[in-house]
Amino acid sequence: MSILLQLKNIETYYGPIMGIRGVSMEVHKGQIVALLGANGAGKTTVLKTISGAMDAQKGKVLLAGQPIQGLDPDVIARLGVAHVPEGREVFPFLSVEENLRVGAFSRKDANIAADLASVYDYFPSLLQKRNAAAGYLSGGQQQMLAIGRALMLRPDIMLLDEPSLGLSPRLVREIATIIKRVNEDQGVTVLLVEQNAKMALDISHYGYVMELGRIVMEDTAERLRDAPDIKEFYLGLKDQGVRGRRRWKQRKTWR
């Protein structure tokens, strides 16, 4: 399986503060790869560095073997990288359909109508509200709209930043199902940033764990689900045979 996206020793700063430190990772074509970690771990910074919203001060970002660090975000988008940011960031005063068509702004082909129909097939509730202003949608519908807008780019890879944030358990399951369908039906590669480790690992092929701006663990999703540290610190599961241990005195094995 070929490598679609590769980060090599990336360092990105917020002014004098290092946001990510020496991050290296690979995303293979056709996979869903989860990037896990607590708030402030640097996950969003990784996605912003890939999409060009932030510039790396060190290292390389390679898309299909070609360096893309330092390029403008619109150029990177045209190369097939769709970024769905945390907080959805839909255009509130545009209609649902106008928002979706914005996602196809760089396309000159004749398949936009067919792709629009495909998005409505994935998200039937958007079809019902196609003429409504996006600002009046529920949080779950806005997340669907943000993902649908990214699909209109016909991307090779989607960068999804916390798509489950603030959603009910039912909507989280629905969004997870759609991400998996898009990956399987259209072959879209996905880099999924999530705090909801269970949801992310259930649909991913591979995963990375970040802490304090660095990668501290990586493995297949199946192995990560079974790893003691992941169970304890990200899935909320404890070894029932151990009594009297204080969680805040435990050390993760990767330290």
- How much is the pLDDT for 230? 84
* Domain-embedded: residue 180: yes
Alpha-carbon distance of 44 to 84, in angstroms, equals 11
Query: Would you state the structure tokens that stand for residue 152, as one six-digit string?
Result: 């209109």
Instruction: Convert 143-204 into a string of H (helix), E (strand) and C (coil).
Output: HHHHHHHHHCCCCCEEEEECCCCCCCHHHHHHHHHHHHHHHHHHCCEEEEEECCHHHHHHHC
% helix, strand, coil for the chain, step of 5 = 35, 25, 35
Question: For the chain, how big is the Rg over CA atoms in Å?
Answer: 19
Which CATH number do you get for residue 181? 3.40.50.300
Number of structural domains found in the chain: 1
Residue 254 lies in a domain: no
Does residue 151 lie within any of the structural domains? Answer: yes
Backbone angles phi, psi at 133, to 5 degrees: -65, 135
Assigned domain for 189 exists: yes
8 belongs to a structural domain: yes
Q: Is the pTM of this model over 0.95?
A: no
The set of residues, in sequence order, having a beta carbon less than 8 Å from that of 241 and lying 6+ positions away, is none
What percent of the chain stands above pLDDT 70?
92
What is the rounded (10 degree) CA torsion for 89, 91, 97, 100? -40
Gap between the Cα atoms of 117 and 154, Å rounded: 13
pLDDT of residue 160: 96
Of 3, 8, 9, 10, the C-alpha closest to 45 is 10
Q: pLDDT by residue (tens digit) across 175-219?
A: 999 999 999 999 999 999 988 899 999 999 999 999 999 999 999
Residue 135 is predicted with a pLDDT of 92
Q: Are 42 and 23 in contact (CB under 8 A)?
A: yes
pLDDT at 253 over 60: no
Whether residue 255 is contained in a domain is answered as no
Q: Are 168 and 137 in contact (CB under 8 A)?
A: no
Residue 125 pLDDT exceeds 80: yes
Separation of alpha carbons 6 and 2, rounded Å:
11
pLDDT at 247 over 90: no
Quote the pLDDT of residue 202. 95
Residue 250 has pLDDT above 60, yes or no: no
CA distance 179 to 127: 18
User: Rounded CA gap, 208 and 34, in Å?
Assistant: 6
Range of the domain at 87: 3-249
Residue partners of 228: CB distance under 8 A and separation at least 6 = 239, 253
Using one digit for the tens of pLDDT, what is the confidence trace for 62-103?
999 999 999 999 999 999 999 999 877 899 999 999 999 999
Structure tokens at 171: 């909507």
In terms of Cα–Cα distance, which of 193, 183, 84, 185 is closest to 142? 84
